[in-house]
Amino acid sequence: MVFTRLTLLLLLELPRVDDLRRLYRDFNTIYKRYVEDAKFDVVKGHGFKFLKRRLAFICYILREYRDISPKKRTELINALLSEDDLRHAQQVISRSVKGKEPGKTSWFSLPKVTDEESLRKVMTKIANDISDSDFLLGLKGVQDEELQNPIQEAVALANTQLSSSIDAMVNELTHAVVRMQQDECKKHIQREIEVKERKVLSGAHVNFIRDINKNSIGRRTS
Question: CA of 30: how far to CAs of 8, 113, 186, 206, 216, in Å?
Answer: 21, 48, 18, 45, 60
173 within domain boundaries = no
Considering the domain boundaries, does residue 137 fall inside one?
yes
Task: State which residues form the domain around 11.
Answer: 4-167
Distance CA 52, CA 104 (A): 23
Within-domain flag for 129 = yes
- A 10 A CB-CB count for 30 gives 16
| 27 located within any domain | yes
Asked whether residue 93 is domain-assigned, the answer is yes
What total of structural domains would you count in the chain? 1
**Domain-located, residue 195:** no
Instruction: Classify residue 158: in a domain, yes or no.
Output: yes
> What are the pLDDT tens digits along the chain (222 aa)?
444 444 444 444 544 667 777 777 777 787 778 777 777 778 888 999 999 999 999 999 888 888 888 899 999 999 999 898 999 998 888 887 776 666 655 556 676 777 888 899 999 999 999 999 899 989 988 888 999 999 999 999 998 888 887 888 778 877 887 887 787 788 778 888 777 777 766 666 666 666 666 666 555 555
Please report whether residue 116 resides in a domain: yes
C-alpha dist (Å) from residue 78 to 94, 151, 175:
16, 14, 47
